[in-house]
Structure 1
Amino acid sequence: MHITFRMFRKTLLGLILLVSTASLVLSVYLKSSFIRPDSVYVLLGILGTLTLAAVVSTLKKPQLVATEVLGLFALFPFALILLLYCLTIPVLPDDPTASSTLVILQTLIFISTILHGLYMIGLVATAMLTVCAFDRDVWTRDMDSSPSPFPMCLLLGFISPCCRRPDSTFSDDSPEHPSLVCLPGCNCHKTPLSSDTERNPEMQSIASAGSSSRSLVRVPNDVERRTSIVVAFEEVL
């Protein structure tokens, strides 16, 4: 199964959203067990912001690469503050359930911070690699556009040229693009030339040209699909 960047991003954001929501629920549950009950408002404020950011990033159309990177950079310090603050929150010592629940909450916040940091670093590194490889305007691309702003095959080929795959072309031997006609007497399954076509040299040349044109057609890759053709009209006096 081919995993696209859009699918990977949606899965990662969904995981971050799930962890943040679980942390919100545990924070509310531990409110009465905190020695300083006001601590829950700090947790809820930062966790709510991170959760809202994940929801907006998932649902917003279009979501530019530059906007995503700036949002991740702006929220990452708050994620670190949340992690450090959560590690220093005391709970009532006579409540063993609260202590174990606090450990779970700290683990979830740690996982959320790690995912946030890895996503930020990975996205910036991939965008910079794309800029160096072929697309300087990747910062203004939509994250979920088609084709993907980060074609992994091309990026891997840029990093390691030995892994680059040549562009695929259509040939007469390809089973997906068979020739239109076949000469009489051939034992293959293709349709032979009719008697009218066989007697008419002009029809033979047309059939041959049609078959040759199919062999010259190449499917554009992700880079070429982004290339736009400027059409201008000159005023003729």
Structure 2
Amino acid sequence: MLIPFRTFRKILLGSILLVSTASLVLSLYLKPHFVHPNSAYVLVGILDSLIFAGVLSISRKKLLASPQPVATEVLGLFTLLPFSLILMLYALSIVVIPDPTALGVFAILQILIFIGTILHGLYTLCLITTAMLTVCLFDRDVWCRDIDSSPSPFPMSVLFGFICPCCFVSPDSAFFEDIPEQEHESLGTIPTGGLEPTPEMRMVGGLSSRSLVLVPNEVERRTSIMISFEEAAYDEV
């Protein structure tokens, strides 16, 4: 069973935020050990931007009461990606005072920055690729959809069905489930008015008891129309 995209996104963004926060703390700790102390301000400034963007992306719906469109998510990730690369390259060029403890902590900082940049780049690349694939296959308006909506704007089972139909169920295939056994008798019973059922009636009843129910996939559930019947208010005469 595939992980829902909303859950996958929260786990990935949470990991990026955790790595960025740890890098921020280590940068402040190493400030006195840098040969050029102002280097810490560059690291802290870029890390603050990454943390702010991640927190805003996760909590935008709760804080601003507005959804996070896919286009906004992609634009934000693509804009911050160069800063992540600059952060990684800049961290490799920083010189630290030769102190065993400081050198060990600085090595951890470089590893964390490298991991954060890789996660940021992979998420950006995967999101853009998935969105473009969704646009080409079945949904041209995916850029305007809420990235945390349910059903997901990126139905992974459907996308993988197009990419690798030999391993995943194709979206053109029908999704069926059997009717529970206790309902077979009620569905297969044909009123006969007290008469003995004929062989033809038994045959029809047998076919009805083996009927199947069509279950909509993620794309069909997202494009379905909800119909509700509201009680009409009538003025008293």
Q: 1:7 to 1:110 in 2, by over 3 A?
A: same
Deviation at 1:23, TM superposition (A): 0.2
Structure 1 residues 98 and 136: alpha-carbon distance in aligned structure 2, compared to 1, 3 A threshold: same
2:96 aligned residue: 91
Q: How far did residue 8 of structure 1 move?
A: 0.8
Counterpart position of 1:75: 80
Shift of 1:36: 1.1
CA contact (8 A) 1:170 1:177 kept: no
Q: RMSD over aligned Cα, in angstroms?
A: 2.8
Q: Do the aligned partners of residues 113 and 177 (structure 1) sit closer, same or farther apart at CA in structure 2, a change above 3 Å counting?
A: farther
* One-letter code aligned to 2:218: D
User: Counterpart of 2:85 in structure 1: which amino acid?
Assistant: L
Preserved CA contact (<8 Å) 2:175 2:216: no
Q: CA offsets per residue over residues 69-120 of structure 1, 9 Å max, x none?
A: 0001100111111111111111112x22111111110110000000000000
8 Å CA contact 1:169, 1:215 repeated in 2: no
Pair 1:42-2:46 in alignment: no
Check the 8 A contact 1:27/1:44 in 2, yes or no: yes
Please list every run of 5 or more consecutive structure 2 residues that lacks an aligned counterpart in the other structure: 62-66, 196-200, 228-237
Mark the runs of 5 or more structure 1 residues left unpaired by the alignment.
184-191, 232-237
Match of 1:139 in 2: 143
Contact map agreement 2:27 2:43 (CA 8 A) in 1: yes
Q: Write the deviation string for residues 198-230 of structure 1: whole angstroms up to 9, x where unpaired.
A: 5368xxx9xx89x95994642221111222559
For 1:126, give the aligned amino acid: T
The CA distance in 2 between the partners of 1:19 and 1:182, in whole Å, is 57
Q: Given the two structures, how large is their TM-score scaled by the length of structure 1?
A: 0.79
Matched, 1:108 2:115: no
Change (3 A) 1:180 1:23: same
Q: Secondary structure at the match of 1:163?
A: coil
- Contact 1:170–1:214, Cα closer than 8 Å, also in 2: no
How does the TM-score come out when normalised to structure 2? 0.79
| Match of residue 9 from structure 1 | 9
| Residue of structure 2 in register with 1:234 after alignment | none
Q: 1: CA distance between counterparts of 2:181 and 2:79?
A: 49
Does the 8 Å CA contact 1:20/1:109 hold for their aligned counterparts? yes
